[in-house]
Structure 1
Amino acid sequence: MRKIAFILVAFSLFSCAEMQQVLDQLPQGTGVLSQAEIGNGLKEALNNGITKQVSKLTATDGFFKNETVKILLPEELQTVDKKLRQIGMSKLADEGLKVINRAAEDAVKEATPIFVDAVKQMSFNDAKNILMGNESSATTYLQNTTSTALYTKFNPVIKNSYTKVGADKVWKEIITKYNSIPLVKKVNPDLTDYTTKKAMEGVFKMIAVEEKDIRTNLASRSSDLLRKVFALQDQK
């Protein structure tokens, strides 16, 4: 364990000549990995999460029937939902929840290129910190490096998706009917902003699922590189 930690620190602090001296002093067969191998292994793990998990969200019911990421109504609209059901409009209320999730499913298709760019830009220091960090370090890295770009990209896409899946019409009808009920406090929620943020949360949750699996399940390390790189993590 101490050798592994020492190797990783040396990668970031020593010059090439000093690094070689360190490596020469280690016993043969220690399985030392290069900076490139460690970086490429982490990139492969992140790309697996993007490919295997984020893509699931783009399918019909990718959000709506996945309890981990299903988008529920914001607190303000829970009152609307309850009132509509009380006056016999449960079907409309159900449709309102479904179309929010449909819009997210449609919009998440735009996430992959942003993630791929973030993974390409990962430095060795980023990779080292991710590898020796906790079970969600890679997910946290993506959150820190992509959230602003994702929101900027998602927000107009969600707005277009609302029109595409008919969510704008459904929610216009819901809000109009609710606001016409005597004595209720009128509402005018920003559902585009809300759905954008919830869609982003869902994306990161699914990447975290894959990251945890690779870190804890040896069978999920589907390549020699993943097995070698995460063997370092196992010994920390």
Structure 2
Amino acid sequence: MKKIIILLSFIVFAFSGCDTAKQILSTVGGIGGIGTGGLSNTEIVSGLKEALRVGSDTSTKRLSLLNGFFGDDIIRILMPPEAQKVERTLRDIGFGKTIDKAVLSMNRAAEDASKFVGNILWNSIQQMTIQDAVGILRGGDFAATEYLKRTTTQQLMGAFRPVIDRSLNNVQATRYWSDVFSMYNKVSRNPVNTDLGAYVTEKALSGLFYHIGLQEQQIRRDPVKRVTEILRRVFGSNY
């Protein structure tokens, strides 16, 4: 039972701010005899899913804000590796502003698509079981993140891709991309032929899972991140 509290605590904090987390944890504080008493397995799973729903909504709203991706040095989406090889040359011949617009447009597309993450994650999490939770808690620092990545990536990519493509078109990223490389490809022996929509989709999901994993590791390892009594009691023990 104590392990379920650990999982619930991590997921709440991975997806939400401290205020939301405190509210959720105070509601479910009775799990495992802490607070008002124990809960059934069914109630635990239901509470876990609800915590995920509320927490993911908070997180995706933050990612979908203006500069949610572009303003983050870690997850900012840059030119694909194939394009980076020729970016300096293109800037030297006058394509600098166009490249900057393309980079900004890719990040705007990721921010736009992030509005849909909450619903997709919630739908995927419906299948989580107590057995899944126990397996996660027996894993390493990123076990919960890897579980979410494994069980949601394909669905997220399938749902994200049309949103990304539409967003790229709306902000004219594909036009900027074409402007940057059409001339280059005419004279290059190694033309760039990257699927921009697939690339942005992959990087958007990578940014999401990066932050989830970082939060999971911090909660597991850093006492400072255990900002409530229940977190201190659970993670301070030898679970």
Same fold (TM over 0.5): yes
Aligned-pair distance for 1:68?
2.2
Aligned-pair distance for 1:167?
0.8
* Aligned mate of 2:58, from 42, 52, 58: 52
Would the aligned equivalents of 2:99 and 2:176 in 1 still touch at CA under 8 Å?
A: no
Count of aligned pairs between the two proteins: 205
Would the aligned equivalents of 1:61 and 1:105 in 2 still touch at CA under 8 Å?
A: yes
Question: Residue in 2 aligned with 1:231?
Answer: 234
Whether 1:108 aligns to 2:111 is no
Would the aligned equivalents of 1:57 and 1:105 in 2 still touch at CA under 8 Å?
A: yes
Percent identical across equivalent pairs?
A: 36
* Aligned mate of 1:130, from 136, 139, 152: 136
SS at structure 1 position matched to 2:67: coil
SS at structure 2 position matched to 1:66: coil
User: Against the structure 1 CA distance between its residues 140 and 229, is the aligned structure 2 distance closer, same or farther, given a 3 Å change threshold?
Assistant: farther
Hey, what's the Cα distance between the residues in 1 that align with 2:90 and 2:217? Answer: 41
Question: Residue in 2 aligned with 1:218?
Answer: 226
Aligned-pair distance for 1:199?
0.9
Q: TM-score, normalised by structure 2?
A: 0.73
Whether 1:68 aligns to 2:71 is no
Would the aligned equivalents of 1:39 and 1:128 in 2 still touch at CA under 8 Å?
A: no
- RMSD, aligned α-carbons: 3.0
SS at structure 1 position matched to 2:94: coil
Q: Mind listing any 5+ residue stretches in structure 2 that lack a counterpart? A: 4-31
Partner letter of residue 104 of structure 1? Answer: A
Would the aligned equivalents of 2:99 and 2:180 in 1 still touch at CA under 8 Å?
A: yes
Question: Residue in 2 aligned with 1:202?
Answer: 207
Hey, what's the Cα distance between the residues in 2 that align with 1:95 and 1:196? Answer: 18
Hey, what's the Cα distance between the residues in 2 that align with 1:166 and 1:105? Answer: 15
Q: Mind listing any 5+ residue stretches in structure 1 that lack a counterpart? A: 6-28
Question: Residue in 2 aligned with 1:99?
Answer: 105
- Higher relative contact order, chain-length normalized (CA < 8 Å, sep 6+): 1
Hey, what's the Cα distance between the residues in 1 that align with 2:57 and 2:217? Answer: 15
